[in-house]
Amino acid sequence: MLYWAAVFFIIALVAAVFGFGGIAASAAGIAKILFFAFLVLAVISVLLGRRSPL
C-alpha cells in the first residue's frame, strides 16, 4: 500500500509540473489516503505484535 501511495505522489508531482491542477489534486488526495491507511495498519500491526503470548 505504501508503494501505491508513492506512485500517486509521483503522478501528482509530474502533473503539477505540467500544470494539470485537477489531476495533481486527485493523485495527491489518493496518495494521502493510502499513506494514512498504511500508517494505521502499521501501528495496529506493531501493537498486536508486541502482545505477550498467553
What is the value of pTM for the model shown? 0.54
Helix (H) or strand (E) holding 28: helix 21-49
With cell 508513492, the residue in question is: 6
- pLDDT tens for residues 7-53? 878 877 777 777 766 777 777 788 888 888 888 888 888 888 776 66
How many domains is the chain partitioned into structurally? Answer: 1
Q: Is residue 54 part of a domain?
A: no
25 lies in which domain range? Answer: 2-49
Whether 24 maps to a domain, the answer reads yes
Pull the grid cell for residue 5: 501511495
Is 7 part of a structural domain of the chain? yes
